[in-house]
Structures are given as structure tokens and as C-alpha cells.
Structure 1
Amino acid sequence: MKKLNDNAAIEKRIDMLKALQSNWFALLFLILGFFAYGLPAVDYFTAVPGDIGDARFNSVILEHLFQWLTQKGTSLWSPTFFYPFRGVLAFSDNHFGSAFAYILFRSLGAGREVAFDSWFLVGISLNIICSYLVIKRLGLNGFSAAAGAFAFTFALPVLAQESHAQLTYRFAIPLAYYAFFEMLETKRLFPFWRVAFWTAVQFFCSIYLGIFLIYLLIASFCGVFFWSRASNFFQEMRVSIVREPIHKKIAFIAILAISTIAVSYLLYRYQSISASYGFKRSPSEIMATLPRISSYFLADHSRLSSWIGGFVTDIPMRHEHQMFFGAGIWALSIYGAAVAWSKSEMKQLAKIALFTFVFMFLFTLNLGGISLYRAISYLPGLSAVRAVTRIALVMLMPISILVAIGTQQLWNKIDIKNMSAKLVFALIIIILLGAEVVTYKIYNTSIAVWAAQQTALKNKLTMPLTADTILYVSGKSSDPSFVTELDGMILAQDMRHPTLNGYSGNAPPNYLDPSPCTSFHNRINAYAKFQELPLAAANVLAARVMVVALENCEHEPIIAGSGKIAASQAEHIQLSLSDITLDQSFLKTKLSIQNNSEADFNTLRSDGPALRVSWRFINEKSKNQELNANWEPRQDMALTIAPKTSASIDLLAILPSLPGNYQFQVSMVQDGVEWFHNMGMKIVSTPITVTTTK
């Protein structure tokens, strides 16, 4: 009887272990991720992940899609910001593939901020669920698959992108990867319809991640061929699809065609709009965001691992290079990679995952300015992919598989009858993976801050809006321009009006900052020039604009000039100095600018360098009197001077370090274009004496 009881106890423990490896463990990891990061990131629906920059921009795009579905007259590709420019949705990600969750919660009555938080949490949930199902289908047990899925969803590079919520939805990556892996392993072409479908979904969630997913699939393809050296691969694939039933062939062709056409249309729209506006990324900008070896040590927001990258001090755009996966993830993935040379049944999967990661690592690595990636960055469309470091979010697919393999190998080393040891091991893995997430320094912004921004703006509206009103918010000189732009975008969106304000990954040509002393006419004029509209049409648009000013300007806001300063105007500009004082190491003076020409003199330029003041000190004993020598200091001006009138500005110049008699000379310049004194304007000059050294 005792023996029977002992056997029953053993069987009960085995059943418990099987339950431990079931889908319930995935739920446990999901709950851990939610309470360690997800809910704290949204501060239990009282805050929004990230700052008041990109988070609010993503909110605007999601709200635009909601309004497009629920209101008549809204253009899909031309939201109400950057008005009246067209096609501005293609200036950045569009959220076509992920907006369903936001639209659902907005339809249920949630406000835009709560709907945004819900959308964010749905994305996290889909990521861990889909990656768990895929890793389990690859042959891993439930516990190991859950560990790998947790790594895929909550690795440090993912958390570091909390300000870029457009990168949240990655659930299609594991689904496309698994279909592709199945196709390669079985040498059947039929699963490729799922590859095409899920790749298309990822493109519609984020074009960035869609492109990186293509890199992942190419790397996986190379990995299978490197390790298996399959012969007659393509022949077997062709034969396999011929053998499929006719209804499967029709479905295969239909879904493949629809997915291809959908992605092609999306990329065509982006390419055509980009070409019409002349958008380009410079090679140097792309090189600055290519991963370096040091990038994989950076985790500045981790309380546990930030010290590891402390030695890295000379990396540009450091915030984009946060690619340290986490100590636990690295440890388990390295152990999983070692399985590739063992006798484990998982060795083939480990080999392919390892090769895939190494391929992507080497392909994108910037080693002292040398990179394989640079060769393809010149291809049409790929030059728009600026932040290549975000490929870490896709690299996590092979890394998460290696984490799962490493976890399973360790799990298998423990006697299945030793329930306590298994539970202790499971707890260690949870702590190893969860510690980085629990101690991560979350960055979010209170919803109250979002609301306060809008309340301040609405209080500035002193008159009712007409049906055709165009809103324009001019900001405070102390605020970054993107804050003002987003303030205006949300105000206009909430009030169902277009706005001249705009913020995105790109901007229309000649779009000057919304500073308090810059006129909204500059944006109207930029559009008129771009569209080659007559002055009368521009004036009609300008008459519809209502300015919401957060800070008053001391003078009339400036309307920018265009192009190179004309010599015929430069020669009629007269400078004079007054109220000169020498105070310790500085010379203070008032510079008067008289416009004797027949046209307004605008120091601001919409499509080129602004007009600026410059000065120099010439030692009266020096023989170096070259006309264009030693004009180094610059001072900006914000002036529009009407014909036959003048304006003045204060100058503060650092005195020469050596005592002596000098001529203090002042001129004007349009940098990169011409000096005014070379076009006929007289340099103003006054003698000064420097009596003491600094």
C-alpha cells in the first residue's frame, strides 16, 4: 500500500510539472511583465509612456485614423496638421496595422490618453502571446517558451524605446519567422503564404520593423543553408506546391498576391510622397545610428546594468544605441548557443538561431566607420531607415529562441521527480529575467500634463471659430519647437480644425520654427511657393488663420525673405553705432540698421541662411587689413525693416586679450552666400582703446 502511495505521489508531482510547463506559465510571465513594466509604464492609466514628444505624435496619428473611420470628409493620407500640405501621413509611421486596438477603446468611450495606454498594453500582450506560441511550436516546453517570450517582449532594448510607441507592435515578427522556418525545414512552399501575410502585417504596423523583418528572414535563410547545405532545395519546393490541392493553390496565390500588392502600394505611397517633397537621409546620418560593438553594452536606464556601458563616452545619438539585452538574457542565450555543438535534439534550431543573430550583428555593425550595411543604404527607400540600431527589436527573435533553448537545457538537467529543485530553478529563471524589468527606470508623462497643455491653449481662444478657421499655435521662446507643434496639432484635432502646426519624421520644405516672433505667413508662403500658387491664393489662406500665441513678441512677427540677399538691396543698407561702453572684458553698443532700399529688409530666410551681424577688432598697428579676414563672431537678428525706416539691436562683443588701439568694425553676412560689404554696403567702424588685459 505504501509503495502504491509513493507511486501516486510521484505521478502527482509529474502531473504538476507538466502543468507547470503548460500555457499557465506563459500567463505567469505575462502577469510579471504587466506588473513590473506595463502598468507602471502607464502609471495605472494616469500617465503615458515616454515624453510629450513622440508619444503625443503617435496619439495624433491613432486619433486621426479613428476620426477617419468615424467622421465624413477626413482624408486618410492628409491629416489636418501641416495644413494645407498633402500626403503628410507618409512623413512617418502610419499605424495602419495596429490602430484596431485604439479604435476599439475610443469607440467604447475611452479618452484619447486612456485609449493610447490600452493600445500600448494590447501591443505588449500580443508580443508575448505570439512569441510564446511560436517558440513552443518550435519544440520547446511551456516553461522555456514562456521564458523566451518574456525575453522577446521585455528585453532592455524594447523598454528603451518606450518613447517610440510606434515600435510596440512586433507580434507579426515571430509569426512570420515561424512560417518561414517551417517552409525551410519541410521544404514545402505552401507555408510561404503565411510568411507573406505576416510580413505585410508587420509592414503596416511599422515600416521600420517590416524592413528589419526582411533582414531577419534573409539571415535565417542563409543560416539553414549554411548548416544543412540542402541540395535540390528549390526543386523540392517547386514540386511541393505542384502537389498541393487546387483549392490550396488558389488560396496560396490569392493571399500572396494581396499581401504583395498591399505592401507595394504602401511603399509606393511613401516613395512617391517622399520624392515629391525631396526627402533624403544623408549617409553620415545613417552611419551615426549603425550599431557599434559598444552599443551592445549600453543600458543607461537599467539600475542593474547601466554600469556595464559606463566606459562608452564617445558614441553619437547615445539614446538610440541602448542595445544591451539584459544580463539574464545574455547568460541564457549564450548557454543556448552552446547547445549548437552538443548532442541535444535542439542543436539544429540553436545553430540556425545563432547564425541568424551573428549574420544580423555583422551585417549592421559599424566598425570604425566601415560597415557592410552602408552598401545597401544607398538603395531606393532604404536611405529613409535612419535608426538602424532599432534592429535590436528584431534580433530578439533568434535571441529569445536561444534563451528558451538554454532554459530548457538547464531544466532537463534536473531530475523530473525532484519537484523542489524544479520549482527553485523556475524561480531563479524568473528572477534572472525579471530583475532587469523590475528595476528598469521607467520614463512616462502624467496625463495631467497633456491635459494642462491643452487647457492653456483653449484659454487663449478669445473668439469663436468659424467653419473654415485654420489654427496656428506660436510657442514660447523657452520651449522646444516640437512641443509647440504638438500642442497645436492636438488642439486642432480635438476641435476638428486644420492647423499650420506640424511635427513628424519629416517636414515640408522651408517650414520655419513656431517662435513667437516668426509670422504664420511664412508657412502659408512656403506652401504657396511649393504649389506655385499666386499671391492672391496665399492671402485667401492667410485670412482664415487664427493665431494662438503662448508668448507675445515685442514687435510684429517677422515674415521671412527668400533666397540670396540682392546686391541692389545690400548696398542700400546703412549701419551706425551708438552708446559704446567698455565693461571689463566686453564692448557693449547699439547697432542701428537703416533700410534705404525700396523693399522690406527681412533678416529671416525661409529657404536659406539668415542674415546675421558680424564684427572684428583690427589693431591699428597691424598690417593685416584684408577685407574678409577675422570676421568670426555672429549674432542673429529677428527684424523686418520697412523701406526708409530703421531698427536697432544690442551687441555684446568680447574685447581683444591684448591692450592697444583698435578699430571695432561691424558688417553683415548671409553665411555661405555673401558678405554685405562685398556687395556695396559700407562697414561701420569706430576706434576703441583696450587698456587692461582680461
Structure 2
Amino acid sequence: MKHKLIYVIPFLLLLVGLYFMPIAVFESNLSKMPGDLGDTRFNNYILEHGHKYLTGKIDNYWDAPFLYPYKNVTALSDNLLGTLPIYSFFRGIGADRETAFQFWLLTLFTLNFIFCFIALNKWSANVILSSVGAYIFAFSIYNLGQLDHVQVFPKFIAPLVIYWFWKFISETKIKYFLFASLGLIYQFYCGMYLAFMLTYVLLFFGIAYFGIYGRQSWHNKFWNKRSIAYLSSIVILSVFILLPLIRPYLEVAGSMGMRKFDAAINSIPTFRSYFFSSDASSVWRFLSNHAIGKISEWWGHRLFFGATLWLGLIVGVYLVISKRASFESRKYIYFLLSAVFLAVIFCLNFNGVTLYKFIFLLPGFSSMRAIDRIINLEVLLFIILFVFSFAKLQEVFPRVKYFIFVLPVLVVVDNLFDANKVKRFDKQMSQQRIADVKNRIKDQYDSKYTAIAYMPFLTHVENESDGYLHTVAIQLDAMTAAQELNVPCVNSYTGFDPGNYLNFFFDPRDKTLDEWCEFNQYKSSQIQHINDLGKKEVSRKKINLVAHNNKFLTAVQDAEPLVYANREKAAAWENFIMVRFENGDCFIKASTNFLWSAEIGKEGIVVASKSEAGEGETFRIVELNNTTIAFKAANGLYLSVDSISLNVFARSSVIGPTELFKVIEF
């Protein structure tokens, strides 16, 4: 009975971890989603796409209906197939898309703890240390830095794969090679990134083992035809199971090539990264600022996993140096220390110098650019070292068992954080954004078109640094709304951007859409433009405007952004987007994403200061020839250039020389 009571500890730690990590982030009413409006919702989209495939609502998994008409788009990022049944189960019992996603993630946290505990307990036979190690794997504060990229959370099989691999290399039993191989393949189905990183961890785990223990037993055990045949059969079986998954990714690699090393180097951890904490941490907040500006792309480098594992490393070093432990125990700890050292040193950036260059040359590794995510698997080596260091320390100093009994409390305190400081967003707000776009598509969609391109015109954001995320959020709004309506869309957000797609992504207009379709050898006339203006567009073009004085128009970026005709040459930021409608009206947008407006109460002076489109922002185009036009404002007067101030006003009742503008299209 006493033996069974100790299992209350992992059970309680699991409940505490779920409460303090995912439930705290979601809030008890599930009103919040982790991360931002980009990656989180993209992963939700991929899971929903998989659910639609599983339930027979679509018949092609790899050609997801975004980035249209490009093929094999699902293989441009992680697919999450291995955990898709979990999400699909919650959808099947009535949860909406976002709530099913939250339950999917909650389940992953649970499985990460349970599977890690099982592996560690089988390995060490120490329930308390295994519980603490599992808590760190599933709920440590390093996970806060991963909430932007929830595709890294399906990692529950990894602890067992390492355990099985250890059993295979230490006991030379072929069944464990089979288990480890199948587990690794399953990790590939859960996520390509994590599978390659698990392979990386296994590589250095194996190198460390053979470096310390030698390989004589292997030679004696496996250097015979029967063993070689068994091992070969397992490899062939593994390749056969993996092939349906890997083939689409090989096609992507063949068509787009691999990433350049320069694209990955800034994400390789530095020494500082391992002591860079989330600013949400309650205990370690003072470690949350020292790397900002010191590390390129620092936002992905919050890898600090609390003090508990570092204490385990210190204990391990002490045991090896002090020689208080037995020779076999020291040898074992030395092996684990070596595995940690090799895994860290080969994925460390020393001011631009890194051994990871050699890893990057291995097949598959050049497909990855966010190398800092290695922490999700690398942490397991630290955890294994921690468990066995304290287990061996207890053998040397029996009273250490009292400290071990306190560790479950200490590890919880070590990893406490303030959920209000974690990046997250309101679930209902996201759902409303998608519903708004869905309604616009429904109002404008014509079934004679094959697909849509959602091209909002009102895209101003107050903070320029939010511009990229705003663009990403718009793409996900459109993708998800189109997914609900079963309408293919050009809009996209994914791991790779083929061809010239980014031109459309950042600058959606006629020309960039035409060029994207041309890249795909597809007729752009088959794609319908959908906007946020409620009116059918005739055209959307990037232009320069030249006044009668042969000066280019510009919208100055001041407190009062007046429009002038005073530039000899137009800089890149001095162009405009003009959208025209069937009735001859148009809107004009400056590079600040503010719309032109004729200020009726200020003599009709034209400013680029409006984020919404109304009567004052509407101009009627009068075409005089192919390149020369005049503009009539909402006050019924024409735009003209003041000869002294060179400001543009809407105050002329007739069209004369000063009311003429030449249009230069990009």
C-alpha cells in the first residue's frame, strides 16, 4: 500500500502542472488562445484541414485549399498528422474549431507529462525524481517561449524513444531497436521539426555511449547474418512506413531547394540563450532582459528551463570529480554529461562560429530554420542527467532522500509564471475577425470563379512594428474563412513561400496576383478579388502621380500628412495604391496605409490621414486620355495644385491645367 501511495506525487504534479501552465494560459473559461494571430491559427487551420479530410469532407490532404493554385502546400510546413485524431475527436463530440484546438493542446501537455514519467520511471525506478523530470519536460518555463509555435508540443513519444534507444545500445536487444525506430517514425508523423531534432539528440546520445563504453559487445552481438537481417528488415519496414509522409516533403525540396545556412544561423542558441528567461517567470524575471539586443532574433531564444536541471548538472559534475560514487556510477554520469555536452556544443553559436554547420549538411536538417526549438528535445538529456545524478547522490549520501522529497514543491515554485504576461489573444475576437471576412466573402463571392483572393484595402496599423503580424493575421482570417466556406483562396501563411508569392503577400494588387498566377501557369481571370470595401473593384494598382508642374505627388509623414506636388523624383515610399470601382469612384492609399481625404472644413485640402473609407475619401475619376486624369472630390470640386504652397486642394469647379494628373503605373 505504501508503495502505491507514492504514485500520488506524479498524479498531483500532473494536476498542478495543467493548472499552472495550459489552463492558466487559456483561463478557466477557455477564453484565451496561446501565442499570436499567426502561427497558432495556422496550426489550427492545418488540424481543421486534417479533420475535414478524415471525415470525408475533402478528398485531397496534401493540396490544402490555400496558396492557390500551388500544389502540395500542406508539405510546406509541419502537418501534425500524428496527433490529428486527438483534435478530430474533440471536433467530433461537438467542440468548435478553436475549443477543439485548446483541448488538443491540453491533451498534449498531459501526454508529455505521462509518457516522460513512464520512460524515466522505467529507466530509474525512482518515482519522485521521475515525476520532477516529467514536470520539467511538460510544464517548465522554457515552454513559454514555445507557445508561439504549438507544433512543437506533440513530443510525448520522444522520452520513450530515447529510453528504448538506451535499452537497445546497452542491452543489445533487437526488439528495442524496433520500438525506437517505430517511435521515431511516429515523431515524424507528429512533426518533422521535432523528429529531426530527436534524431540529433539520439545521435549524440549514441556517440557519448560508445565513447565511454566502447562497442565490443555490439560487434559480438550483431556481427552475424541473422542479426544483420533483423536490423535490415526493421530499417526497410521503417522506410516503408515513413515513405507516404516523406514523399511530399521530398517533392517540396526538389521544387524549392533547401534553405541556406545563413537563414538558420541567427536561430542557433548561444550560451546566453540557456539563461534567457521568459519575462512572465515569477522567480527568474531578472533573466528576461539581458539577451535583448545581444542576440539576433532574440525572441526565439528564451530557453531557460529553471534552476532544477542546472542543479542536477552541478551534482553530476560533483559526483564525477569527487569520486565518492562507485566507478560504474561515475562512468554512467560521465556518459550522460558527455551526451549533454555534445548536444549543446554542436548546436551553439559562438559569435557566428558554430559546429552546427556540419549538422546542417545532414539530410533533412537544411529544411529547418528555427534551430532554437532544439530545446524541446535537448532538455530531455538534461532531465535524464538530473534524475540519475540525484539518484546516485542518494546512494552516496542517504539523507539526500529528504531533499528529494522536497523537490516536487521546489520544481513547481521554480517554474511559476504570470499568465497575464504570456503572449496570447482573445478567442472570441479571433472568431469574430474570421466571421467578418467570411461574411464579406459570402456577400461578394461568385461561383463562376475557381478561387478567391482576399485583398483588404483598409490595412493601417497604429504601430508600424505590428505591420507584419497584421498582414499575417489578415492572411489567416481569409484562409480560415475560406476553409469554412470550402472555397480555395490565394491567401497563405506557411513555412515556405514559393516563387514570387511574397510580392502578393505584402502588396496585394492586380499585378502581383497576375504574376503569381503566371508563375503557376494559371489564368488570373479565374480568381475573384474580394475586398473589405463592399464594392466590386475594377482595378487595384500601384501608381505615382505627376502634377501639371511635372512634380511627383507625395504624402508627407508628419502630424498633418498633407499631399504635395513638389518632388523631382518619387522615393519608394511616395507611391500610392489606387483602387477603382465600376461606377468610376476610387480610393487612394499612401504608403502609410492611410487614405486620401478632402477636408471639407479646411478649404478641401487633401491629407492622407484616414484609416476608414467614407464619403470624404471617395474621389470620382475623370479620364482625359490613357494616362491623364482629373479627380472630383466628395464636395463636387476638382483636385488642383496650389501654385504657391504646392498643396493639393479640392476647390476647383472646372478642369484646367492645374487639375490634370498623369498616372504612372508600376
TM-score normalised by the chain length of structure 2? 0.76
Cross-structure match for 2:24 = 40
Q: What secondary structure is seen at the aligned counterpart in 1 of 2:550?
A: strand
Question: Residue 138 of structure 1 aligns to a residue in which SS?
Answer: helix
Note if contact 1:48-1:445 (Cα within 8 Å) is conserved in structure 2.
Answer: yes
Contact kept? 1:20, 1:143, Cα under 8 Å:
no
Matches within 5 A, 1:330-349: 330-341=310-321, 342=323, 343=325, 346-349=329-332
The question of 1:314 aligning with 2:294 is answered yes
Aligned to 1:462: 443
Amino acid at match of 2:339: T
Matched-pair contact (CA < 8 Å) for 1:130–1:175: yes
My pick for the range that moved more, 285-294 or 267-276, is 267-276
Q: Secondary structure at the match of 2:353?
A: coil
Residue 336 of structure 1 deviates from its aligned partner by: 3.8
Secondary structure of the residue aligned to 2:460 is coil
Greater Cα offset, 157-166 or 378-387: 378-387
- Mark the CA change 1:590 to 1:76 in structure 2 (over 3 Å): closer, same or farther: same
SS at 2:425's partner residue? strand
1:76 aligns with 2:61: yes
How far the C-alpha of 1:28 sits from its partner, in A, is: 1.7
- Structure 2 counterparts to residues 486-497 of structure 1, below 5 A: 486-497=476-487
Kindly report which structure 2 residues correspond to 1:163-174, keeping only aligned pairs within 5 A, or say none.
Answer: 163-174=148-159
Q: What amino acid maps onto 2:247 in structure 1? A: Y
Residue 294 of structure 2 aligns with an amino acid whose one-letter code is D
Instruction: Pick one of 255, 261, 280 that aligns with 1:283.
Output: 261
Cα distance, 1:515–1:501 mapped onto 2, change above 3 Å: closer
In 2, the alpha carbon distance for the partners of 1:459 and 1:593 equals: 44
1:539-558 equivalences under 5 Å are 539=525, 541-542=526-527, 545-549=528-532, 557-558=539-540
Deviation at 1:405, TM superposition (A): 2.4
SS state at 2:336 partner: helix
Establish whether residue 374 from structure 1 lines up as the match of residue 354 from structure 2. Answer: no
Corresponding position of 1:293: 271
Any idea what the Cα deviations from partners look like across 1:134-154, whole Å, max 9, x if unmatched? Answer: 111112411111111112222
- Counterpart position of 1:154: 139
Bigger mean CA offset, 460-469 vs 498-507: 460-469
Instruction: Decide whether the 8 Å contact of 2:276 with 2:290 is kept in 1.
Output: no
Identity %: 23
**Contact 2:438–2:478 (CA<8 Å) still a contact in 1?**
no
Q: In the TM superposition, what are the counterparts of 1:355-394 in structure 2 within 5 Å?
A: 355-379=338-362, 381-394=364-377
Classify the secondary structure of the residue corresponding to 1:364: coil
Q: Give the number of aligned pairs.
A: 567
CA distance in 2: counterparts of 1:49 and 1:518, whole angstroms: 29
Give the Cα separation in 1 of the matches to 2:506 and 2:129.
57
Shift, 1:431, TM fit: 2.9
The residue aligned with 2:385 is 402
Equivalences for residues 213-232 of structure 1 within 5 A:
213-232=198-217
Letter in 1 for 2:343: M
Conserved? CA contact 1:473–1:487, under 8 Å: no
Q: Check 1:516–1:279 CA distance in 2 against 1; reply closer, same or farther (3 A cut).
A: closer
Residues 550 and 386 (structure 1 numbering): CA distance in 2 closer, same or farther, change over 3 Å?
Answer: farther
Counterpart check, 1:88 vs 2:66: no
1:52 to 31, 34, 37: 37
Structure possessing the higher radius of gyration over alpha carbons: 1
- After TM superposition, list the pairs within 5 Å mapping 1:10-25 onto structure 2: 16=2, 18-21=3-6, 23-25=7-9
Contact 1:188 1:237 in 2 (8 A): no
Bigger shift: residues 315-324 or 447-456: 447-456
For 2:540, what is the secondary structure of its paired residue?
A: coil
Deviation of 1:364 after TM superposition, in Å, equals: 1.1
Q: What are the Cα deviations for residues 564-622 of structure 1, in whole angstroms up to 9, with x where unaligned?
A: xxxxxxxx9998128999999x998416999xxxxxx9999xxxxxxx99xxxxxxxxx
Asked if structure 2 preserves the Cα contact closer than 8 Å seen for 1:346 and 1:405, the reply is no
- Taking a change above 3 Å as real, the CA distance of residues 83 and 72 of structure 1, as seen in their structure-2 partners, is same
Partner residue, 2:252: 273
In 2, the alpha carbon distance for the partners of 1:181 and 1:580 equals 67
- What displacement does 1:48 show? 1.6
Deviation at 1:264, TM superposition (A): 4.2
Shift of 1:642: 11
Counterpart residue identity of residue 169, structure 1: P
Is residue 202 from structure 1 mapped to residue 187 from structure 2 by the alignment? yes
Deviations 1:205-231 (A, max 9, x none): 111111111111111111111211232
CA shift for structure 1 position 107: 1.3
For 2:210 and 2:475, the matched residues in 1 are separated by: 50
| SS of match in other structure, 1:291 | coil
Structure 1 partner of 2:565: 590
Question: Shift of the alpha carbon at 1:370?
Answer: 1.0
State yes or no: 1:645 paired with 2:645.
no
> 1:311 and 1:210 mapped to 2: Cα distance?
31
Question: How far apart, in 2, do the equivalents of 1:559 and 1:382 lie?
Answer: 41
1: CA distance between counterparts of 2:90 and 2:64? Answer: 21
> 2:479 touches 2:491 (CA, 8 Å); kept in 1?
yes
Alignment check: 8 A CA contact 1:477 1:515 kept: no
Counterpart pick for 2:490 among 500, 520, 529: 500
Q: Deviations over 1:625-659 (max 9, x none)?
A: xxxxxxxxxxxxxxx9997414799xxxxxxxxxx
Aligned to 2:524: 538
Conservation of the 8 A alpha-carbon contact between 2:504 and 2:516: no
Worse-matched range after superposition: 213-222 or 463-472: 463-472
Runs (5+) with no aligned partner, structure 2: 462-469, 570-574, 579-589, 592-620, 632-645, 647-666
Greater displacement, 465-474 / 118-127: 465-474
The answer for the alignment partner of 2:412 in structure 1 is 434
User: Alpha-carbon deviation of 1:62?
Assistant: 0.2
Matched, 1:518 2:504: no
1:477 matched residue in structure 2: 459
Deviation digits for residues 316-372 of structure 1 (CA, Å, limit 9, x no counterpart):
111111111212232234324533454256544422322111001111111121111
CA distance in 1, matches of 2:196, 2:484: 34
Instruction: Sort the Cα spacing of 1:643 and 1:25 in 2 relative to 1 into closer, same or farther, 3 A.
Output: farther
| RMSD, aligned CA | 3.9
Do residues 262 (structure 1) and 247 (structure 2) align?
no
Q: Which residue in 2 is equivalent to 1:236?
A: 221
Q: Which amino acid aligns with 2:512?
A: N
TM-score, length-normalised on structure 1? 0.73
Q: Secondary structure of 1:202's partner?
A: helix
Following the alignment from structure 1 to structure 2, what is the Cα–Cα distance between the partners of residues 123 and 481? 29
Change beyond 3 A, Cα 1:350–1:158 = farther
Equivalent in the alignment of 2:92: 107
* Cα distance, 1:578–1:260 mapped onto 2, change above 3 Å: closer
- Given that 1:174 and 1:397 are in contact with CA atoms closer than 8 Å, whether structure 2 keeps it comes out as yes
Counterpart secondary structure, 2:429: helix
Corresponding residue of 1:211: 196
Structure 2 CA distance, aligned partners of 1:494 and 1:457?
A: 11
Q: CA offset at residue 549 of structure 1?
A: 1.8
Distance 1:457 1:287 in 2: 38
Q: 3-state DSSP class of the match of 1:160?
A: helix
More displaced 10-residue stretch of structure 1: 44-53 or 318-327: 44-53
CA distance in 2, matches of 1:578, 1:519: 22
Residue by residue over 1:461-510, the C-alpha shift from the partner in whole angstroms, topping out at 9 and shown as x without a partner, is 42566386523322332252111100001101111211111111122322
Alpha-carbon spacing, 1:591–1:259, altered in 2? closer, same or farther (3 Å) = farther
